[in-house]
Amino acid sequence: MSSNHSIIQERTARTEWFLQDRFGMFIHWGLYAIPARGEWVRSVERMSVEDYQTYFDEFDPVRYDPKAWARAAKQAGMKYAVLTAKHHDGFCLFDSALTDYKSTNTRAGRDLVREFIEAFRAEGLKVGLYYSLLDWHHEDYPAYGDRIHPMRANENYAREPETFHRYVQYMHGQVKELLINYGRLDIMWFDFSYDHMKGETWQATELIAMIRSLQPHIIVDNRLDASGEEGGSIYTKKPVSYSGDFASPEQIIPPEGVVDDEGNSLPWEACITLNNNWGYTAKDMQYKSAATVIRKLVECVSKNGNLLLNVGPDALGEIPRESLDILAEVGSWMQKNSASIYGCGQANWPKPEWGRYTQKGNLLYAHLFEESIGPINLNGLAGKVGKARLVADGSQLFLSRPWNAAQYPDDAFLSFAKPESASYPLPDQRATVVELELI
């Protein structure tokens, strides 16, 4: 049994690449792309396995081209990706020997996980798999009386609690298959714990020991131990073996980042949808703008966190056009500005009024979201900045205290052009990035 101290040390070593990479793609894909009402459709609409069977019978993603997905991720500046190998509906996108409920038995006839892994690796991206701890298809998973199961109100689905261990065995067996059959994986993303369905209910100590013995470098999220509502013991100085390597705030960016109970920063990754659904939802057009995505990525990094941005490919296997367009625009910004993202983290300076800072060593990156009137105020930085350059093109910017800033001796002032006392529009309305060399 490792001590808390060594658990934290090992976590720090394992997550080093993760904290450099900062930006990943989440992919929610499964049978639920056909009803196209989100990945919870079975639960929300209380569909039985039989009701849902029609989607299994139809599933035929003829346009599945994971190489195209990988190119879109890479072009957006993403460094890793996580695909739903199995979601709550229990349907497996991989060729598991432990179930018939898998993509190889559909018209697809392919191991979709294998193709995903090969395609993303070929683009130089790290690969992770999402695996649902819940399983609404398995006969030994609690149904009647469970808070979430599609058959929660149907007495015919009362399960014998004594048989639950068969599900746990199945779940461990599938995780083992994923770890043995697909080469080196970078992330194992479990989802999720709730009520008493957490920790040792999943036999988490044993599960994590198996994971660490097969792929010691792999990083694991915190959801074996925690639900979405609470973070679990990773948030404390006393993490257990299955507390996970990173926290996974969902659809929220934590106000002050994520710290343990002594205020030390923890590895974390906000998972965020592009519209308001994880799984493909034909009618959901509430997409975030590329500018919002860019600013939220900056916000995560400014708080020492990562952004895992979701796409929900459709039933035929294509990422929606709207999502691809946003990713392409984020990519055009990243192509010019990623030096302010990769390997960067929280700055030693508080959040400025016009945007956010990120920092890497002596380079302080000012991300300007808001135009200023007159020179741009760098609070408290008088005499501390050597030079300023626009990250997008390396061009010189101006540091001085023009006449209209004379009353603020402790601050430095930045201008895009001369005269420095004037106002200038931001070169990039989404986020203009200025590299400030600290001296």
Which residues are near ligand GLC by CB under 6 A? 28, 39-40, 191-192, 228, 250, 271, 278
Beta carbon of residue 290, minimum distance to ligand GLC (angstroms, whole number): 22
170, 98 in Cβ contact below 8 A?
yes
Beta carbon of residue 189, minimum distance to ligand GLC (angstroms, whole number): 8
Nearer to ligand GLC among residue 98 and residue 148 (C-beta)? 148
Nearer to ligand GLC among residue 112 and residue 368 (C-beta)? 112
- Identify residue 93 by its one-letter amino acid code: L
Query: Is there a cis peptide before residue 56, judged by omega within 30 degrees of 0?
Result: no
258, 268 in Cβ contact below 8 A?
yes
- Identify residue 46 by its one-letter amino acid code: R
CA distances from 105 to 48, 58, 64 (A): 20, 11, 16
Instruction: Quote the CA–CA distance of 289 and 171 in Å, as a whole number.
Output: 38
Its sign, for the CA torsion 367, 289, 30, 166, is positive
Nearest to 187 by CA among 115, 122, 120: 120
Nearer to ligand GLC among residue 44 and residue 328 (C-beta)? 44
Beta carbon of residue 387, minimum distance to ligand GLC (angstroms, whole number): 42
Beta carbon of residue 188, minimum distance to ligand GLC (angstroms, whole number): 14
Residue 219 is given by DSSP the state: E
Beta carbon of residue 229, minimum distance to ligand GLC (angstroms, whole number): 10
Nearest to 346 by CA among 334, 370, 364, 371: 364
Q: What is residue 341's three-state secondary structure?
A: coil
Beta carbon of residue 207, minimum distance to ligand GLC (angstroms, whole number): 19
Backbone angles phi, psi at 80, to 5 degrees: -155, 165
Beta carbon of residue 119, minimum distance to ligand GLC (angstroms, whole number): 21
103, 196 in Cβ contact below 8 A?
no
Beta carbon of residue 408, minimum distance to ligand GLC (angstroms, whole number): 44
Nearer to ligand GLC among residue 228 and residue 345 (C-beta)? 228
Nearer to ligand GLC among residue 111 and residue 191 (C-beta)? 191
Beta carbon of residue 191, minimum distance to ligand GLC (angstroms, whole number): 5
Beta carbon of residue 28, minimum distance to ligand GLC (angstroms, whole number): 6
| The 355-360 sheet, strands edge to edge | 355-360, 363-368, 432-438, 385-390
Query: Checking phi first, is residue 68 left (phi over 0); if not, alpha (psi -120 to 50) or beta?
Result: alpha
Its sign, for the CA torsion 44, 169, 249, 113, is negative
Beta carbon of residue 348, minimum distance to ligand GLC (angstroms, whole number): 32
- Which residues, including other chains, have CB under 8 Å from residue 8's CB and lie 6 or more apart? 237, 239
184, 215 in Cβ contact below 8 A?
yes
CB atoms within 10 A of CB 105: 14
CB atoms within 10 A of CB 343: 16
38, 32 in Cβ contact below 8 A?
yes
Query: Is there a cis peptide before residue 142, judged by omega within 30 degrees of 0?
Result: no
Which residues in 87-176 belong to E strands, given as ranges? 126-132
